[in-house]
Amino acid sequence: MPYIRRISVTAPGTRNEHIVAVQHSVQPTGPLHSEPVSSIVGRIDGGTVFRSHNDRTGAEAAVVTRRSTAGRRYIATASNGVESDNLLSLPRY
């Protein structure tokens, strides 16, 4: 299962919709691979299970796809409904 461990965002970078790419690994540790969010959305919608993993805290959450009011697909976590505490708390690259 892939673990998202870093994110790249566009300004202002305060919402999950601002995430444009991620770095993920096969295990919670190990080499990172970069991939655009559009590709991650397709993989999740195709059945691949992704989790976020925070290297500092060890916190993890399931990653799901959502659609913005403008119709753009993006990724978010299904953990507790607090947008800033999972993907957006990961290191930026």
What is the full per-residue pLDDT of the chain (93 aa) written as tens digits?
A: 999 999 999 999 999 999 999 999 999 999 999 999 999 999 999 999 999 999 999 999 999 999 999 999 999 998 666 666 799 999 999
The pLDDT of residue 8:
98
Q: How far from 86 is each of 46, 63, 71, CA to CA, in Å?
A: 22, 9, 23
pTM comes to: 0.92
pLDDT given for residue 3 in this prediction: 99
Residue 40's H or E segment, with its range, is helix 37-45
Burial class (CB in 10 A: 0-12, 13-18, 19+), 82: exposed
**pLDDT value at residue 1:** 93
Backbone φ and ψ for 77, nearest 5 degrees, come out as: -105, 155
- What's the domain range around 85? 3-89
Write down the residue that tokens 């753009």 correspond to.
72
Work out how many domains the chain is built from and give that number: 1
What is the structure's pLDDT at 85? 72
CB count within 10 Å of CB 40 equals: 23
CA–CA distance, 32 with 48 (Å, rounded to integer): 17
